[in-house]
């Protein structure tokens, strides 16, 4: 049984009196514990799809079913990691990480212990009392991820979380994310513009067409785990998957730019 089922989903907007179709006839099933990446040209509706899944938007047609129930409003069992870290500038790193547990009324000792464990796991020990402006972009994004993990959502959505970072930092955080995922086995849907990143992380890569966004292809990534993110692109398996996906993606990118 799928943890998440997207069934014939359609989303349209009215923009300056004109109808704009962002998504059309999207069907996708996500299994529990799966790491799925979504890639596609700019404007194909990737972020719109995540907003529909979490309940920030309502679909114009079709339905989304999570854990056997149709999404109807914001779902608190789904975590959302955005491109911008959105850390509160007046709270320290550890205070930012533990805020979801604080809101839920978890005791200070318990939430502090859980936050310290996660901070240690992503290599931020020693920075617990630093404020966001005292941290690098990569550090803030690590904090953003574990701030979501701490309240134990069943599904985690990630909307280009490494997009603003430099290439070296991105690779390091890809490695850390895979290590976190291997220990938590959370179900993750991860949006990216980077085809290499999409293949490196995923069990399956979902490729979307230019607007209106549809599922054009789904590619299984049968590369053994754990993966060496620093060398994975050198393997024959990686190159084969990359060539298959790029063959499908290239005409969509051209259409989006036209």
- The per-residue pLDDT for range 199-211, each reduced to its tens digit, is 999 999 999 999 9
- The token pair at 109 is 């000792």
Number of domains, the chain? 1
Question: Bridge partners of 217?
Answer: 207
In a domain, 145, yes or no: no
What confidence tens digit (pLDDT) does each residue in 120-151 have? Answer: 989 999 999 999 999 999 999 999 999 999 99
Q: State the average pLDDT for the chain.
A: 93
Specify the pLDDT at position 70. Answer: 94
Q: Over range 227-232, report the average pLDDT.
A: 93
Contacts of residue 22, defined as CB under 8 A and 6 or more positions apart, other chains included, come to 11, 12, 13, 45, 48, 211, 212, 213
In a domain, 97, yes or no: no
Compute the distance between CA of residue 121 and CA of residue 104 in angstroms, rounded to an integer.
Answer: 23
In a domain, 49, yes or no: yes
In a domain, 222, yes or no: yes
Indicate the pLDDT class of residue 117, thresholds 50, 70 and 90. very high
In a domain, 135, yes or no: no
Is the predicted pLDDT of residue 233 greater than 80, yes or no? yes
- The token pair at 10 is 């359609």
What confidence tens digit (pLDDT) does each residue in 61-114 have? Answer: 999 999 999 998 999 899 999 888 889 999 999 999 999 999 999 999 999 999
Q: Left, alpha or beta for 164 (phi > 0: left; psi -120 to 50: alpha)?
A: alpha
Is the predicted pLDDT of residue 190 greater than 90, yes or no? yes
Query: What ranges in the chain are assigned the alpha helix state H?
Result: 46-54, 93-97, 99-103, 108-121, 137-149, 167-184, 195-201, 236-257
Specify the pLDDT at position 85. Answer: 85
- The token pair at 225 is 């785990």
**CA 30 to each of CA 52, 53, 127: distance values in angstroms, whole numbers, following the listed order:** 15, 12, 36
Q: Over range 8-30, report the average pLDDT.
A: 91
Is-contact 50 191, C-beta < 8 A? yes
For residue 71, the enclosing domain spans: 4-77+153-257
Q: Over range 189-193, report the average pLDDT.
A: 95
What confidence tens digit (pLDDT) does each residue in 155-169 have? Answer: 999 999 998 788 888
Specify the pLDDT at position 254. Answer: 78
What's the CATH number where 184 sits?
Answer: 3.40.50.300
In a domain, 34, yes or no: yes
In a domain, 220, yes or no: yes
In a domain, 119, yes or no: no
- The token pair at 199 is 């293949």
């Amino acid at each position: 049984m799928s943890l998440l089922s997207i069934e014939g989903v359609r989303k349209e907007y009215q923009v300056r009196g004109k109808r704009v179709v962002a998504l059309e006839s999207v069907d996708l099933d996500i299994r529990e514990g799966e790491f799925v990446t979504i890639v596609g040209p700019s404007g194909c509706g990737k972020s719109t799809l995540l907003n529909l899944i979490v309940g920030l938007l309502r679909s114009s047609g079709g339905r989304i079913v999570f854990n056997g129930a149709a999404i109807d409003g914001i779902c608190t069992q789904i975590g959302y990691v955005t491109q911008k870290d959105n850390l509160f500038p007046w709270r320290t790193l550890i205070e930012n990480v533990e805020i979801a547990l604080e809101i839920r009324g978890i005791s200070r000792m318990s939430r502090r212990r859980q936050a310290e464990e996660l901070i240690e796991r992503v290599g931020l020990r020693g920075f617990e009392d630093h404020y966001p402006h005292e941290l690098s972009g990569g550090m803030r994004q690590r904090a953003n991820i574990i701030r979501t993990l701490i309240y134990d959502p069943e599904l985690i959505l990630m909307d280009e979380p490494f997009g603003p970072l430099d290439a070296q930092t991105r690779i390091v955080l890809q490695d850390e994310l895979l290590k976190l995922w291997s220990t938590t086995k959370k179900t993750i849907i991860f949006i990216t513009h980077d085809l290499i990143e999409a293949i490196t992380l995923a069990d399956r890569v979902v490729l979307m067409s230019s607007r209106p966004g549809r599922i054009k292809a789904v590619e299984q990534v049968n590369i053994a785990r754990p993966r060496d993110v620093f060398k994975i692109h050198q393997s024959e398996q990686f190159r084969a998957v990359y060539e298959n996906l790029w063959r499908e993606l290239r005409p969509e990118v051209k259409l989006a730019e036209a």
